[in-house]
Amino acid sequence: MKMWAISFLRLMNFMMNKVKKIFDLVVAASLLLIFSPLLFIFIGLIYFQDFKSPFYVAERVGKGHHRFNMIKLRSMIANADKNGVDSTSNTDNRITGVGRVIRQYKIDELMQLVNVLICDMSIVGPRPNVNREVALYTREEDKLLSVKPGITDLASIVFSDEGDILSDKPDPDIAYNQLIRPGKSMLGIFYIEHRSISMDVQICILTALALISKNTALKGVVKLLKNSGASEELISIASRKEKLIPMPPPGSDEIVISR
């Protein structure tokens, strides 16, 4: 009986992964087709502002620690990542004029649809991180690498104002690890433990809604979490009604003070 149950769970997981892959490919291809005129416009605007590549290609860590090149429209000056700072505030002087527009409306993220088509990423999943951040993961956070990273997830909605959160912080990377990483990782782990195509569709809708009304989108996230049996702590974090305070990441009792 036990072996039968294990086999059934494996079959269900296999089927869900197959359906998710089809969902990812269909949505990615459709969105690229729909947004291609907009992408071409901004590719031109980015190129003609400094005659540098309009694309930002950077290594990220994905499922099973697989490293891949994530593609975005470039929102900063060329070679901005050479200074070793991974977290970006809205006051960062490396952001270009066009870059501020595409970051505000998440247009820079649309190029990651190509990453979905080549199967490095999913439409929905924990956001991929640089290796320097992944190296800090606790054993609990390693669960984030058990699925493909995504273009959007619950944390992308809850912390869509990441640039504002990190504004004027003396060390954006430490501030990220203290204020954003704990809740972001908790939301990512919760998604992995409860993921379904239905949840993916809801997250996609809430992501689009967040561009129009973040408060409404946050209410939708809270409702989704409640319906999925989330803890009161996680629901409180997702509601964003309280001021963010330094917290330890999941699986640790210590707040990050160095990196």
- How would residue 56 be classed by pLDDT, with cut points 50, 70 and 90? very high
pLDDT, mean of residues 221-250 = 97
Q: Is the pLDDT of residue 174 over 70?
A: yes
The boundaries of the domain holding residue 214 are 13-239
Quick one: what percent of the chain has pLDDT higher than 70? 95
108 assigned to some structural domain:
yes
Closest CA to 26 of 109, 106, 113: 113
Say yes or no to pLDDT of 216 above 90: yes
Question: Span 44-56, mean pLDDT?
Answer: 95
Residue 89 pLDDT: 76
Return the bridge partners of 57, or none.
71
Reported as a pLDDT band with limits 50, 70 and 90, residue 2 is low
- Average pLDDT of the residues of the chain: 93
Q: Is residue 257 part of a domain?
A: no
Q: Kindly state whether residue 247 falls inside one of the protein's structural domains.
A: no
The Cα–Cα gap between 20 and 116 comes to: 11
Which pLDDT value is given to residue 103? 93
Q: Is residue 144 part of a domain?
A: yes
Q: Which one, of 176, 91, 101, 163, lies nearest residue 136 by Cα?
A: 176
Question: What's the structural domain count of the chain?
Answer: 1
Establish if 244 belongs to a structural domain. Answer: no
Q: Name the band, by pLDDT with cuts 50, 70 and 90, for residue 92.
A: confident
Specify if 254 maps to a domain. Answer: no
Instruction: Please identify which residue in the block is written with the tokens 């640039």.
Output: 163
Say if 259 falls within a structural domain: no
- Per-residue pLDDT at 115 exceeds 70: yes
* Residue 168 banded pLDDT, cuts 50, 70, 90: confident
Q: ∠ CA 122-205-208 to the nearest 5 degrees?
A: 90
Res. 8 pLDDT band, cuts 50 70 90:
low
User: Does residue 138 fall inside a structural domain?
Assistant: yes
Q: Select the more confidently predicted residue: 133 or 86.
A: 133
